[in-house]
Structure 1
Amino acid sequence: MGGGVALALAGAGLYAQIEGDRGIPPIASTGDFEISGIEVNATGDNAEAARAAGWREAQRKAWEQLWAKNGLGGGTAPALDAGTLDGMVSAIVVENEQIGPHRYIATLGVIFDRARTGGYLGMQGQVARSAPMLVIPVLYQGGVGSVFETRTPWQKAWAEFRTGESVIDYVRPTGSGADSLLLTEGQITRRSRNWWRMILDEFGAADVVIPIARLQREFPGGPVHGTFSARYGPDNRYLGSFEMTAVSEDKLPAMLNEAVKRIDGLYAAALAAGKLTPDATLVVQPQIDPKLVDEVLAKSGPVAAGPVAGVESAPVAAATTASQTQTFTVQFSTPDAVALDAGLAAVRAVAGVQGATVSSLAIGGMSVIRATYAGDLEALSAGLKAQGWKVTQGAGAIVIRK
């Protein structure tokens, strides 16, 4: 009786650790270009006309900034008509706006479609990215460290970060369900490679990055001082740090968003310097005892020099290549949860898929699956086509649709 009560209490305690409104699904990272913080001040015959004029002004200013940042031609951005800009822009993000009867004052973000904008920028080819890196965003505030136990502004900043333009292939957990049990502040102090392998395999990652934020408030609602550091690997190695200050609590989200971009810059610099390579100790190298090999050969008797009659022998190199596992990215549209389940089930149903996890969930947009597959990308594409999916293949990634 007492054992049953203890088991029930333990189960209730475990449920309490994962229940509740936890987790912030990361946005889909499609690689589009985003320019934020565009300030506009426009007028019009009415509120709607003023807003439309403000958005057109934001598109023009964003195009000029995008050209200055990414244009290979240099100099002044080429003048484009409003219709061309409308076709290049995939979304307008309203950061702050004030709408009057004839005036529109706002701070906007403009997202340009990469496929339709890349040609104007003169971009060709693809940028080499890192191996899949699991993100564990740790926040210290009020003397307490947390990751996904509760919703935090640091977790939110990483969930909203558009990773498409980054050279780091981030694997961002949603933070819901068992994530709050597996990924905790205590996890970053563990050194057990077996434990880390289990965690990384669960999320389809090759290694881990640990962005840390420490927030101190002078008084409620007052300045917030932040110390940020970039760490990586199962040994929690240090890469760099910096400090920032938000003048008030309502400016904290903007400061954290900027901090995420700066930490991403630290990881990108580490990748370029050859530091951000997957830890070799996280890869299991099976070892066979030579004595066991000798015993097996002795029991089996002499081995024939040539192939056995009637049996076709396959080259060893081909068998070895076929057995190697690789990690690929599968993107697909998820208008609802049913579409998400259908895409995940389709990937898992392909013969040779050893694991498939959702690395980026976007209901109403494009979700991303990280698939571990024993074979090459062409074979994975063929397996999905056999199920009736239309497949568009890229470098290490495919897009599927019905």
Structure 2
Amino acid sequence: MISLASPLRIPSVTRRTIVVVAALALALCGVALWAQVEGERGIAPLASTGDIEVYDIEVDTTGSDGDDAREKGWIEARRKGWAKLGGPEMSDSQLEGMSSAIIIQREQIGARRYIATLGVVFDRQRAGQFVGGTRGGSRSAPLLTIPVLYTAGTAQVYEVRGPWQRAWAQYRAGDSRIDYVRPSGFGGESLLITAGNPAQRSRIWWRNVLGQFDASDVIMPMAELDFSYPGGPVDGTFTARYGPDNTYLYSFEMRAESQEQLPQMLARAVERMNTAYEVALERGLLKPDSSLQRTQTIPAEIAALIEAGRRALNPPPAPEPTITPEETDPDAPAPRQTSVPVQSFQLQFASPDAAAIDSTLAAVRGVPGVGSASIRSTALGGTSVLSVIFTGDEDTLRSGLRDAGFNVSGSGNRLTISR
């Protein structure tokens, strides 16, 4: 029998058992938390550029060997792409000078033959004067894009590498009037952005999430896929929603005759979604929700009461004695009133791997005057974009980036940096 007045004594063997069990529980807890973010989940989006892009160009060429046939195929692709854009007659050397990249959609290289489906990217600064400039109309505010996929009774965004998120990551939004902010889904982003976000109504929560990605509002393009049977037809229902209240905007249906055609169907669905959001922008539906602004407008009556309370608690100091003109020093320089502007810049840089992104981000954050720097879009093996808030003008930022070891090109709020 144990007396309540005496302390309870636990045998040493039991104490050791408790310690071991507690340590195992903590270790398993750590493994469970890490398992939620480890592995390949999201897909890095392609960088948005203003270049002129043409796709689905079929070529079939022959040459002295495979490389020669491929080179002739790329020359032919530039010609066909330029013709699709309705450009004037140009020589092959002129077209090569205006093109910045060849996109390989599908290719087969033989001993002397080259068959491929290609895309051609023309530099807008050099080719825009011949085939038209950027599409007219206003551009939207930065919109956080959460592509939600419903299939087999489950909803997902970045939990796995899904086909709907892949379609949005591969979409080239440079010519769109919608400023898509597309997270990559890496690391903690897969925990912050989930399929449950559209049901969230807290403005405080949304302001914190949008602040992580420098976005002003949110859109939710949703896809529901119904597989008839493995490898068979796939029926898709697509719904465009926007805002923290998950407001309905537009919906449509599409069908892929086989599972192999699913990527092409989803790519067309993204294009149609983009059109729906652009129409909503023209109608004024995609204006950022005022409740998501970090600084809220206070009614005049309440502002007057607050100001009266501040004056009562902190009375103004006694006025300083007035200095007559005779008491002032005529040789003293007049005080200068200076104001330093705070501006937003976008910095493009080559990102062959994740280490290059981390080092560039750290170097830019160390430039004097940089208030914040965050990843706007990531393209491993391509060009990524940083969003930078800088206190100062463009020349000051250029000077600071050069001091940090960067070469700087471009103008205005869009600069390109390299080492």
TM-score range (shorter-chain normalised) is 0.7 to 0.9
Which has more radius of gyration? 2
Mapped partners of 2:344, 2:204: distance in 1:
20
Q: 1:185 aligns with which of 187, 195, 201?
A: 195
Q: Provide Cα deviations, 1:328-361, integer angstroms capped at 9, x if missing partner.
A: 3221223444432332123222445343211222
Q: 2:55 aligns with which of 30, 36, 43?
A: 36
Q: How far 1:245 moved relative to its partner?
A: 1.2
Residue 56 (str. 1) matches residue 75 (str. 2): yes
Whichever residue aligns with residue 239 of structure 2, its letter is S
Q: How far 1:178 moved relative to its partner?
A: 0.4
Q: 1:253 aligns with which of 229, 253, 263?
A: 263
Q: 2:379 aligns with which of 359, 362, 365?
A: 362
SS at match of 1:37: strand
Pairing 1:77-226 to 2, within 5 Å after superposition: 77-123=87-133, 128-226=138-236
2:363 corresponding residue in structure 1: 346
Quick one: structure 1 residues 249 and 7, their matched pair in 2 at CA, closer, same or farther if it must change by over 3 Å?
A: same
SS at match of 2:85: helix
Q: Retained in 1: the 8 A contact 2:107–2:114? A: yes
Q: Retained in 2: the 8 A contact 1:204–1:327? A: no
| Segments of 4+ moved more than 6 angstroms | 124-127, 312-315
Q: Provide Cα deviations, 1:22-72, integer angstroms capped at 9, x if missing partner.
A: 2211122232222111223334455444433333332222111123xxxxx
Q: Retained in 2: the 8 A contact 1:328–1:371? A: yes
Quick one: structure 1 residues 105 and 365, their matched pair in 2 at CA, closer, same or farther if it must change by over 3 Å?
A: closer
Deviates more, 1:362-371 or 1:231-240: 362-371
Mapped partners of 1:98, 1:344: distance in 2:
38
Q: How far 1:151 moved relative to its partner?
A: 0.5
Quick one: structure 1 residues 54 and 137, their matched pair in 2 at CA, closer, same or farther if it must change by over 3 Å?
A: same
Mapped partners of 1:363, 1:305: distance in 2:
65
Mapped partners of 1:376, 1:131: distance in 2:
22
Aligned CA-pair RMSD? 3.1
Quick one: structure 1 residues 50 and 390, their matched pair in 2 at CA, closer, same or farther if it must change by over 3 Å?
A: closer
Segments of 5+ residues of structure 1 without an aligned counterpart are 68-76
Residue 276 (str. 1) matches residue 286 (str. 2): yes
Quick one: structure 1 residues 7 and 234, their matched pair in 2 at CA, closer, same or farther if it must change by over 3 Å?
A: farther
Quick one: structure 1 residues 303 and 400, their matched pair in 2 at CA, closer, same or farther if it must change by over 3 Å?
A: farther
Mapped partners of 2:183, 2:224: distance in 1:
21
Q: How far 1:18 moved relative to its partner?
A: 0.5
The count of aligned residue pairs is 386
Q: Provide Cα deviations, 1:59-90, integer angstroms capped at 9, x if missing partner.
A: 222111123xxxxxxxxx32222222222222
Q: How far 1:127 moved relative to its partner?
A: 6.8
Q: Retained in 1: the 8 A contact 2:43–2:185? A: yes
1:13 corresponding residue in structure 2: 32
Pairing 1:235-384 to 2, within 5 Å after superposition: 235-285=245-295, 289-298=306-315, 300-304=316-320, 322=341, 327-374=344-391, 377=394, 379-384=396-401
SS at match of 2:312: helix
Mapped partners of 1:182, 1:385: distance in 2:
35
Q: Provide Cα deviations, 1:241-265, integer angstroms capped at 9, x if missing partner.
A: 2221111111111111121122112
Mapped partners of 1:52, 1:199: distance in 2:
47
Q: Provide Cα deviations, 1:108-140, integer angstroms capped at 9, x if missing partner.
A: 222222233223225389874322111111111
Quick one: structure 1 residues 388 and 49, their matched pair in 2 at CA, closer, same or farther if it must change by over 3 Å?
A: closer
Q: Provide Cα deviations, 1:270-309, integer angstroms capped at 9, x if missing partner.
A: 22222212111111226673354123432x54455979x9
Q: Provide Cα deviations, 1:213-251, integer angstroms capped at 9, x if missing partner.
A: 111111110111111122111111222122211111111
Mapped partners of 1:20, 1:377: distance in 2:
40
Whichever residue aligns with residue 295 of structure 1, its letter is A
Quick one: structure 1 residues 246 and 140, their matched pair in 2 at CA, closer, same or farther if it must change by over 3 Å?
A: same
Q: Retained in 2: the 8 A contact 1:204–1:356? A: no
SS at match of 1:274: coil
Q: How far 1:6 moved relative to its partner?
A: 5.0
1:70 corresponding residue in structure 2: none
Mapped partners of 2:402, 2:133: distance in 1:
30
Mapped partners of 1:205, 1:303: distance in 2:
45
Q: Provide Cα deviations, 1:373-392, integer angstroms capped at 9, x if missing partner.
A: 45555554454345353433
Q: Retained in 1: the 8 A contact 2:235–2:254? A: yes
What percentage of aligned pairs have identical amino acids? 47
Q: Retained in 1: the 8 A contact 2:38–2:187? A: yes
SS at match of 1:256: helix
Quick one: structure 1 residues 261 and 345, their matched pair in 2 at CA, closer, same or farther if it must change by over 3 Å?
A: same
Mapped partners of 1:338, 1:16: distance in 2:
23
User: What TM-score, normalized by structure 2, do the two folds share?
Assistant: 0.81
Segments of 5+ residues of structure 2 without an aligned counterpart are 1-18
Q: Retained in 1: the 8 A contact 2:50–2:134? A: no
Q: Retained in 2: the 8 A contact 1:204–1:372? A: no
Q: Retained in 1: the 8 A contact 2:134–2:175? A: no
Whichever residue aligns with residue 217 of structure 1, its letter is F
Mapped partners of 1:258, 1:19: distance in 2:
31
1:72 corresponding residue in structure 2: none
Mapped partners of 1:256, 1:125: distance in 2:
24
Q: How far 1:188 moved relative to its partner?
A: 1.4
